[in-house]
Amino acid sequence: MVLLAAFQMLLARYSGQADFAVGSPAANRTQSETEGLIGYFINMIVLRADLSGSPDFREVVRRVRQTVLDAFDHQDMTLDHVVDAVKPPRDLSRHPLFQVMFVLQNNEPGRLGGDGLEFAPLGVRRSEDLEGSSYF
């Protein structure tokens, strides 16, 4: 959620918009019966970015967290049904609800380096390790 908040702040800065939508895939395997199945269950969810009022980063993370949790509560609703319900103006050159996507892939990083440089992953503390943290 922190990466999504940073991404939305970057988009807001470059676009000059404080209210926009970002698409993101959801695994859509909410029932234990479907976890072991092979197949394509992914559904796109639309995440509204509301950066109005010049919020600080902690406030943006809070807003993003609530938006993501609300969106995943309704991830079973297909994107086609959302488009039919909203009835946005259609333009075949772009998606009707969002123009940018946020996709986080948890792949093992390859070995980076070259010309005497070597890169290593940066350790990140889990939210349980942050005592008194109010935004996780």
> Cα separation of 8 and 41, whole Å?
26
CA 43 to chain centre: 13
pLDDT score, position 128: 59
How many domains does one find in the chain? 1
> Cα separation of 87 and 39, whole Å?
30
| Domain-embedded: residue 84 | yes
| Domain-embedded: residue 128 | no
User: Could you read off the pLDDT of 93-128 as tens digits, one per residue?
Assistant: 888 888 899 988 776 666 666 777 777 766 766 655
Q: Cα separations (Å) of 101 from 31, 47, 131? A: 25, 10, 32
DSSP, residue by residue, 25-71: EE----SGGGTT--S---EEEEEEEE-TT---HHHHHHHHHHHHHHH
Kindly state the tokens that stand for 61. 């993370």
Whether the per-residue pLDDT at 6 is higher than 90: the answer is yes
What is the pLDDT confidence band of residue 35, given thresholds at 50, 70 and 90?
low
| Domain-embedded: residue 123 | no
| Domain-embedded: residue 135 | no
User: Could you read off the pLDDT of 42-81 as tens digits, one per residue?
Assistant: 788 889 999 999 899 999 999 999 999 998 888 877 778 8
List the domain range (segments joined by +) for residue 15.
Answer: 2-106
Q: Assign residue 89 the CATH number of its domain.
A: 3.30.559.30
